[in-house]
Amino acid sequence: MKKGYLINSEISYVISKMGHTDMMVVCDSGLPIPKNVNRIDLALRKGTPSFLETLDTILSELKVEEVIIANEMKIVSADLYNEVSNRFHDVKITLVSHEEFKEMTKECLAVVRTGEFTPYANIILKSGVVF
């Protein structure tokens, strides 16, 4: 049995395949997911698992060099934006429109869907390198 903190086999597999600048999305329960992108659906019920719980678990395994967030999160869900930005002190944070964000999801290796019901609780994680 895997000893690490992240035990979801699908997420672990995607992270193990990620190279420099590959991207993964962690999203709320409402983000449209492109049909050609691997969907890892963790949503169980409203709020379970939460966006931040899922993000923190993924960050325990994935080296991130940049995150992409929709401007709308900063405006509509300011408390969540502050929580998210506090996790990325040494990481570039890029803000785009929600429409541009949705277009960018088409280039991601996977979308991890949570049970989050907070508007615009979506983030693209761009893989860094560990050396």
Residue 79 lies in a domain: yes
Pick the catalytic residue: 20, 56, 97, 107? Answer: 20
Distances (CA, A) of 79 to 21, 52, 60: 28, 12, 22
Residue 54 lies in a domain: yes
**What's the N-to-C CA distance of the chain in angstroms?**
27
* 120 labelled binding-site residue: yes
At 1 the pLDDT is 63
At 51 the pLDDT is 98
Residue 83 lies in a domain: yes
* 86 labelled binding-site residue: no
Residue 10 lies in a domain: no
Which H or E element spans position 129? none
Residue 106 lies in a domain: yes
* 89 labelled binding-site residue: no
pTM equals 0.96
Identify whether 20 is a catalytic site residue. yes
* 41 labelled binding-site residue: no
Residue 1 lies in a domain: no
Q: Model confidence over 44-60: pLDDT tens digits?
A: 999 999 999 999 999 99
Of 15, 49, 14, nearest to 29 by C-alpha is 49
| Phi, psi at 39, each rounded to 5° | -100, 125
By the 8 A CB rule, do 105 and 111 touch?
Answer: yes
Residue 72 lies in a domain: yes
Q: How far apart are CA 27 and CA 123, in angstroms?
A: 6
CATH of the domain at 102: 3.40.1650.10
Q: How many domains does the chain have?
A: 1
At 35 the pLDDT is 96
Q: Which parts of the chain sit beneath pLDDT 70?
A: 1-3
Range of the domain at 53: 18-127
